[in-house]
Each structure stands twice: as structure tokens, then as C-alpha cells.
Amino acid sequence: MTRIEVTVNGVRRDAEVEPRQLLVYFLRETVGLTGTNVGCDTSSCGACTVLLDGESVKSCTLLAVQSDGREVTTIEGMASDGEFHPLQEAFHRNHGLQCGYCTPGMIMAAASFLHENPTPTEEQVREALEGNLCRCTGYQNIVKSILDAAGQMSGVKA
């Protein structure tokens, strides 16, 4: 077992983890934050996307020990004071989710992307989502949601 210190959604967590434990299972099983989903075992689907020091990563591709001393943000850390994050709000408004299983990963990937590119084109949004698979929505309303959120976040009316 290895000792790690990770800040998850602003709260410091000290834990003993098995060296082979993946970050996603550390979050789900050790920390108890089950909002981050697992959809594949080949790092293909992106359902497990979280932010590591603000940048999106697939939490099934990292070991928990690799998050030692760093900051992780999960879907549970997005809303604040009972208010949706603008991305959550936009996904709701634009029907950007159906079964909701890919949604946390989509939102985390989009959060990281909009931080890099606050005013993207549709094509850029689609490119940014290449690593996140959805089987329900055909992506159309996900893309629309992210463009809408970008507008809201940069103060421009969507």
C-alpha cells in the first residue's frame, strides 16, 4: 500500500492505496464519489473524465498514486451553493443528455476545453469531444449545450 494526499473537489484526502489502483476506482470506492462512471476498459469512451490540476484526464488511464499531491475535480465538484455550473445548466436546457451515463465525462471534458478555448466553433467543440462517446444523443444537443454554455460563460447571449 502507498500513502497519497489528494485534494478532491477542494477537500484534502489522505489515503492508503494499492499501487495498482486506478484513479477512477480511488474516487469511486475510496473517496465514495460515484459520479464518475466507467464505460470501457480501453480508455476509449471518456465516461470517467475528471480534471487533474484543471485539465481533463481519463481517470481510468491514471493510477491513484499519480494523483498524489495534486488536485482532482469531479462532476460532484461542479455545482456550487446549490447552483448548477453553466455547463450543467446548458446540458439541462438543451437536452444534452438522455441516459446520463456519459454526461459527467462530457461535462468535465467540456469544462477543460472551454477553459482553453472560451469561444469555440462547432467544429472545435466536436474535435474536443473526440475522446468522449455517447450512444444516446447523436452528439447534436451535447455540442449545442457546450456552445450555449460558452456563450453564457463568456457573457455573450447564446
Partner 1 sequence: MAMTQERAIGSPVLRKEDPELLTGQATFIDNMTLPGMAWMAMVRPPFVHAKIDSIETSDAASMPGVIGVYTAADLEGEWGGPLPFVWPITEDIKVPVHWPLTKDKIRFNGDAVAVVVAETRAQAKDAAEAVTVKATRLPAVTDMEEAMKDEVVIHEDLGTNVVVHWSHGGAGDQGVFDTAPVIVKERYHQPRLIPNAIEPRGCLAMSIPAQGEFTLWSATQIPHVVKVTLSGTCNIAESKLRIIAPDVGGGFGSKLNVYAEEALSLVLARRTGRPIKWIEERTENYVATTHGRGVTHDVTVAATEEGKILGFKVEELADMGAYFQLLTPGIPELGGWVYMGPYDTQSYWFEFRGIVTNATPTDAYRGAGRPEATYVLERAVDALARRLAKDPAELRRLNLHAPFSEATAFSSGLSVDSGNYEPALDRALELADYHQFRKEQQARRESGDVKQIGIGLSTYIEMCGLAPSQILGALRYAAGGWDGATIECLPTGKVIVKTGTSPHGQGHVTSWAQIVSDGLGVPVDDIEVLHGDTAITPLGMDTYGSRSVAVGGVALHFAMEKIKAKARTIAAHELEVSEDDVEWADGAFRVKGAPDKAKTIPEIAFSAWHAHALPGGVEPHLNGTAVYDPPNFTWPAGTHICVSEVDTETGAVEILNYVAVDDCGVVINPQIVEGQIHGGVAQGIAEALYEEALYDEGGNLITSSMTQYLVPSAMEIPSMTLDRTETPSTTNPLGVKGIGEAGTIAAPPAVINSVIDALSHLGVTEVGKPATPERVWRAIQRAKGGAA
Q: Does 91 bind partner 1 (CB under 8 A)?
A: yes
Among 79, 116, 121, 156, binds partner 1 (CB under 8 A): 79
Classify residue 31 by its DSSP letter: I
Among 134, 147, 149, 153, binds partner 1 (CB under 8 A): 134
The residues, any chain, with a CB within 8 Å of residue 102's CB and separated by 6 or more, are: 37, 39, 45, 46, 47, 132, 133, 134, 135, 136
Site string for partner 1, 95-124 (x = CB under 8 A): x-xxxxxxxx--x--------------x--
Q: In 8-139, where does DSSP find H-type helix?
A: 23-25, 86-93, 103-116, 122-128
Residue given cell 462530457 in the structure block: 106
Residue ranges that bind partner 1, judged by CB under 8 A: 20, 28, 33-42, 44-45, 47, 74-76, 78-79, 84, 88, 91-93, 95, 97-104, 107, 122, 125-127, 129-143
